[in-house]
Structure 1
Amino acid sequence: MPVSLVEGNSLLAVDIGSVTTRAAYFDVVEGQYRFIGMGQSPTTLIAPASNIAFGVQAAIESLQFVIGKTLVDENNHLTMPSQPDGVGVDSLCATISVGDVLRTVLVGLLPDVSLKSIEKLALGADIQVVDSFNTNDVRDINEQLDAIFKSSPDLVLIAGGTDGGATHSIQKFLELVGLASYLLPETRRPALLFAGNKNMQKQVLTSMKNLASSVAIAPNVRPVADVEDLGPAQRKLAEQMIKLRQRQMPELEDLRTLCASPILPAAYNQGRMVRFLSRYFDTGRGVLSVDVGAASLSLAMAFGDDLYLNVFNQYGVGEPLARLLTHTSLDELARWFPLNLPVEWLRDYIHQKALYPAFIPATTEELAVEQTIVRHLLQLASRDAVATLPAKYRPRTGLLPATQPILASGASLTEAATLGQKLLMLLDGLQPAGITTLAMDQNNLLAMLGAIAEQNSLLPVQVINSGALVYLATVIAPVVSNVNYGTPIMRAKLIRNDGSESETEVKMGALQILPLDSGQTARLQLRPLLRADVGLGPGRAGEVDVIGSSLGIVIDARGRPIRLPGEPERRRELLNLWQNRVGG
């Protein structure tokens, strides 16, 4: 690599999560940027510390021990830039997902146009929509004011009107929001983001600058009626969210002054990296990333420049579990539980985990419950995410679109005891169809790399190339209709580079492993039966190049969606059979 491209600057990235704060160190090794090591500590937002800076400091201290390098001075202050004696680091960046969910009011004109666009914008951020207003709202102004007072929003998102179009309706909503803000105590006034008719931008700034806690202007999300452009507004929304976080956590300002690039939400940075990887891998099928966090589950899909980012703060594996049963039923969750225990056991664990998000399963039963919950959260999130996609990316009803690869992060996944457990949680939860590759973001680096890209666009590329993503397995998941378990639906032949071959007949309901050592390449011939679609089209045969892993090549012929038996004993027998098949 030419010296002009890699200047040798080291970089420290900090990710402040709702449960864990991580500090990652990157440096140049043999002319290439590399991930060197990671330190972590419990996040210290809540009592007794009530200051995230302590968690950041502890994570950096842990990192120093891991990499054997001193990064701070005798006063525990970060040394920047690095010194000739090797102490310190050249630059710092940070990303954050901790903090109370931001209560948000949406304002649009037409429900199926501007309001729909602003709803999509809200889906990609860790915010909670508490009310919405549009021109079809039947409430009078007093009822609307009362609704705003009761919802007590942290943030108001406003869109509406094509560029150069009418302004009267938007003006009426601005007056409503302005009056509500005026009547609220100054400390409770919401921030505002306007992403509507560009002819209204100056008026919004003038009329709202003294009424909202902060005002941001973004390009119109609907510049013309049939064109939607959320990208610029996503960035402005991310910046507004950080301003609100600084009100909640004043110590964040000290961290911001040290960073060489803006602090932005982790989900935004995750989405940025997924969009980059979609262009980088260029498989023609898009890239999917899922991060199972304590406070939220984020799922991002990118198809070239088209990014669809969803942050589900109702599906986190921590405090949100207290409300999980408002989104599903205990019986539905229990269908994926492989042990013969009362369903009340599941309910008790859910409430315990909601109270103590950092709780780590200590027994086989607790681990089974946790992984059952993760499976079901992935199912709920993927179902909701698919529903938001445009029709061109939804080839099969209710199933995820074809993506390659699928990337997974979050401690519940990455810290599972075996590779088979990681694999099966993803297969049961996301239920990908066709041909895809699963990989683990084992060190939860994606959001950090998205933050780093703001100041160093070369580092994420080289770190990804160096193997920062851990290859899990290539998966073939045929889709076929109206076929009973045990019926042959596909024949597969694996032709290894040394000339050896293995052939198998795949039956409906099977989860099979074709042995192929890690790093070895081979050709896989696929011959579907009964018009099964292996990812090449209904009934179409073909060959694909595959790479081996510790799990070999996985053929998941359990159907899409997976339909479990209704009889509990038979269902548990099948779940345990599948778990044992992949070495779980």
Structure 2
Amino acid sequence: MYTQPYTEGGQAPGQNHAPAAVNSLLVADCGAVFTKVSLFGLVEGQYRLMARGEAPTTVAPPHEDITVGIIQAINVIEFITGRHFVSDGRIISPEQSDGNGADVFIATMSAGGPLRCVALGAVSATLEELASQAISGLYAEMEALPAPSFSAASANMPAEVGASAGYASPGGAKGPWGQERIAMEWERHLARLRELQPQAALIVGLADGPAGPNPLQEACQLLINASRQRTEQHGANASAGVPPQDIATDQISVLYAGAAQYIEAVKRMLQGVAEVTYVDTLTSQAQVGSLSIALGALHEQEVIRHLPGYERLQSWSRTAPVATATSLSSLVRFLAQHYRMNVTAIDVGGSTTSVMLAGENGEFIPLVQPALGIGPNIGSILHQAGFQRIVRWLPFSVTEEEVRQFVLNRMLHPHVIPVNARELQLSQAFAREAIALTLEEAKKKHVEWPESDLILATGGILSHAPRYGQVAMMLLDALQPRGVTSIVLDRTMLIGQLGAMATVAPITAVQVNENDAVTHRLGTCVIPFGGLQHGQHAVRVGLEYSNGRQVTIDVKAGSVEVIPLGLNEQALLTLFPAPTVDVGLGPGERARAAEEIDGGLVGLIIDARGRPLMLPSEEAERHSSLRQWAQALGA
């Protein structure tokens, strides 16, 4: 497990200057597909959500101005409240005596795409893994392009020497490492840079590696050559009559995390080509935090600030817009510390899927997949998961052509909502795989994922689900938790905004979180695991309600059961597992809750399908099981 620091790309919390008395706040969350704006104000001494508006995000033509979508969403709030918040294209601030305007405006962003970054130099497998950890909680993508001299030297070393022995960049030329192959690898890297058009580069490596300082020099030369090619292309485009605004001329931003003694030499080599920022030399887990902070700042600089309409948006606020993932991570860690429990947050958006776990002992695992979403990026889910993984969640037969047509329609028209049950179930199947693929990234990094006490879900596909049982089913299928956990749905899609709000108005954030953001508790889930034999007794569940009524139910392996336990109801829970079955204390060990458990909109859920979840391989049997489970949950 690894931890991440606060990676705020904008102003630090201490730099935010909020009014002494905040009566009202407008908070905008600009996603890749939709922009949501929420109005918060004082109601009987407590900050509450007063109104909410939603509109399509407007970074693309015909508007190409992110503030247009924000104003359209605010117009919805104006219609609901009868108050005015916009005048002459600006937010009215502070709040006026007639009730118009708001004291504070805050914005969070997931629009604009990820930061495109390449890792250059002596990129060993170990350093590539550390760099991957640094971007795991950010809207960023990184590809490693190890210096050819480093790959050649590493391949020629004995197998027992170092983690980098035999390391060669994926997709590179094959065969022995001679001058010809080194030249081919060099050309491949140049071609890849032209294709990627990275906004940032990370240079890593020590001077005592198998190739010495040569990989650092090669990294600089690669950037110089790529810059020269961009300049030549710029001239060709200008001669061809391409409008100047359509030609990228910005210098690339470079983070140098290599041998400290060469930083000045690197700056001299890249003068006029790239802006170089020195960060701690990347050698171990200890430097991941500072690198993550630097990359977060680059995301703000290279992505958020380049959004059309950014300057106008910035003029509305005392604080710089922050990435939604950064805001969400702040809230998740706060909840874990405040309630002393392990909290997992899930956010499935149109372009990005985020899964974050914060532990009660300070652990933090952020996983952000900026190329996985159920809107414009839904094609990436199909590409990575494959047809069979998608359709395994569908209780009906479907052809591969129908799925591909569905994906194409979603990519071209991400604002369109499902029009029938078939499309809805397809969307929810893709959401399951988006979450599962994100978790698989943690497994690739050998990250130990602790069991969650609380699962907090947000994002359009989850928040807008017609039935609460559908949300519970998606999360249980994709996350496959074990033991006892609770599920809370952020129906109002506020949690992504509360972390940013807390830097300006912490009391407001806490009260809104408790009063509005996490009020849709779906229920407590009991998930026995271990030696479950399908159709055999798995666990006996005893429930003693607050009014003294008692219920006992035997649950068979392979089934899902729901015991009525409504919202604001509580009961004492006792579990009697079969000898080979574990409910969190060991095989066959009885468990009794020390405190009453909470009910919810679905109830007390017993998921005895086993872990890992194995769906029936025969199609008709699988369809029947999926329908039975959905019926049990009211999905």
TM-score normalized by the length of structure 1: 0.89
Secondary structure in structure 1 of the residue aligned to 2:486: strand
2:519 corresponds to 1:474:
no
Who is 1:530 aligned against? 579
Who is 2:364 aligned against? 307
**Residue of structure 1 aligned with 2:344, choices 288, 299, 305:** 288
Secondary structure in structure 1 of the residue aligned to 2:347: strand
Who is 1:72 aligned against? 86
Query: Could you list the per-position Cα deviations for residues 331-387 of structure 1 after superposition, in whole angstroms to 9, with x for gaps in the alignment?
Result: 222121112343432232122112211121111221121122222222222222343
Decide whether the 8 Å contact of 1:23 with 1:39 is kept in 2.
Answer: yes
Tell me the number of residue pairs that the alignment of Structure 1 and Structure 2 aligns.
Answer: 563
Distance in 2 of aligned mates of 1:449 and 1:208: 40
Q: Specify whether residues 132 and 530 from structure 1 end up closer, same or farther in structure 2 by C-alpha distance, changes over 3 A only.
A: farther
Who is 1:398 aligned against? none
2:97 corresponds to 1:84:
yes
Query: Could you list the per-position Cα deviations for residues 405-456 of structure 1 after superposition, in whole angstroms to 9, with x for gaps in the alignment?
Result: 1111111111111111111111112111111111112122122112222323
The range that moved more, 310-319 or 177-186, is: 177-186
Secondary structure in structure 2 of the residue aligned to 1:54: helix
2:390 corresponds to 1:297:
no
Decide whether the 8 Å contact of 1:434 with 1:479 is kept in 2.
Answer: yes
**Residue of structure 2 aligned with 1:273, choices 324, 331, 335:** 331
Q: Specify whether residues 19 and 465 from structure 1 end up closer, same or farther in structure 2 by C-alpha distance, changes over 3 A only.
A: same
Distance in 2 of aligned mates of 1:181 and 1:82: 51
2:461 corresponds to 1:412:
yes
Aligned-residue offset at 1:253: 2.0
Note the 1:394-413 alignment, pairs <5 A.
394=449, 401-413=450-462
Distance in 2 of aligned mates of 1:445 and 1:216: 35
Who is 1:384 aligned against? 441
Note the 1:95-494 alignment, pairs <5 A.
95-107=108-120, 109=122, 111-133=124-146, 136-138=150-152, 139-140=182-183, 142-143=186-187, 144-161=189-206, 168=213, 171-172=216-217, 175-180=220-225, 182-183=227-228, 184-185=230-231, 187=249, 189-196=251-258, 208=270, 210-212=272-274, 214-220=275-281, 222=283, 225=284, 227-246=285-304, 248-283=306-341, 286-303=342-359, 304-390=361-447, 393-394=448-449, 401-469=450-518, 470-481=520-531, 483-494=532-543
The residue type equivalent to 1:258 in the other structure is W
Query: Could you list the per-position Cα deviations for residues 167-218 of structure 1 after superposition, in whole angstroms to 9, with x for gaps in the alignment?
Result: 9467425523542454233715322233455666666666646322x54444
Who is 1:397 aligned against? none
The range that moved more, 128-137 or 55-64, is: 128-137
Distance in 1 of aligned mates of 2:407 and 2:555: 37
Secondary structure in structure 1 of the residue aligned to 2:585: coil
Secondary structure in structure 1 of the residue aligned to 2:461: helix
2:105 corresponds to 1:47:
no
Decide whether the 8 Å contact of 2:530 with 2:580 is kept in 1.
Answer: yes
Runs of 5+ in structure 2 lacking a partner?
1-17, 153-181, 232-247
Which has the bigger relative contact order, CA under 8 A and spacing at least 6? Answer: 2
Distance in 1 of aligned mates of 2:506 and 2:50: 18
Q: Specify whether residues 256 and 237 from structure 1 end up closer, same or farther in structure 2 by C-alpha distance, changes over 3 A only.
A: farther
The residue type equivalent to 1:580 in the other structure is Q
TM-score normalized by the length of structure 2: 0.82
Secondary structure in structure 1 of the residue aligned to 2:504: coil
Distance in 1 of aligned mates of 2:329 and 2:258: 23
Decide whether the 8 Å contact of 2:498 with 2:513 is kept in 1.
Answer: no
Secondary structure in structure 2 of the residue aligned to 1:38: strand
2:567 corresponds to 1:508:
no
Aligned-residue offset at 1:264: 1.8
The range that moved more, 333-342 or 290-299, is: 333-342
Q: Specify whether residues 167 and 125 from structure 1 end up closer, same or farther in structure 2 by C-alpha distance, changes over 3 A only.
A: farther
Secondary structure in structure 2 of the residue aligned to 1:113: helix
Aligned-residue offset at 1:159: 3.9
**Residue of structure 2 aligned with 1:547, choices 590, 598, 601:** 598
Distance in 1 of aligned mates of 2:286 and 2:349: 30
Q: Specify whether residues 565 and 453 from structure 1 end up closer, same or farther in structure 2 by C-alpha distance, changes over 3 A only.
A: same
Distance in 2 of aligned mates of 1:343 and 1:178: 42
Who is 2:616 aligned against? 565
Distance in 2 of aligned mates of 1:311 and 1:104: 15
**Rg (Cα) greater in structure:** 2
Q: Specify whether residues 347 and 402 from structure 1 end up closer, same or farther in structure 2 by C-alpha distance, changes over 3 A only.
A: same
Distance in 1 of aligned mates of 2:146 and 2:589: 49
The residue type equivalent to 1:348 in the other structure is Q
Who is 1:94 aligned against? 107
Decide whether the 8 Å contact of 1:525 with 1:543 is kept in 2.
Answer: yes
Distance in 2 of aligned mates of 1:259 and 1:233: 28
Q: Specify whether residues 255 and 169 from structure 1 end up closer, same or farther in structure 2 by C-alpha distance, changes over 3 A only.
A: farther
Decide whether the 8 Å contact of 2:108 with 2:323 is kept in 1.
Answer: yes
The residue type equivalent to 2:99 in the other structure is G
The residue type equivalent to 2:124 in the other structure is P
Aligned-residue offset at 1:14: 1.1
Distance in 1 of aligned mates of 2:362 and 2:271: 34
The residue type equivalent to 2:256 in the other structure is F
Over the matched positions of the two proteins, sequence identity in percent amounts to 28
2:33 corresponds to 1:19:
yes
Query: Could you list the per-position Cα deviations for residues 444-491 of structure 1 after superposition, in whole angstroms to 9, with x for gaps in the alignment?
Result: 21221122223233332222222421211110111123x431110111
Secondary structure in structure 1 of the residue aligned to 2:102: coil
Aligned-residue offset at 1:532: 1.2
Secondary structure in structure 2 of the residue aligned to 1:454: helix
The residue type equivalent to 2:224 in the other structure is L
Secondary structure in structure 1 of the residue aligned to 2:64: coil
Decide whether the 8 Å contact of 2:24 with 2:42 is kept in 1.
Answer: yes
Secondary structure in structure 2 of the residue aligned to 1:137: helix
Distance in 1 of aligned mates of 2:495 and 2:279: 26
The residue type equivalent to 2:404 in the other structure is R
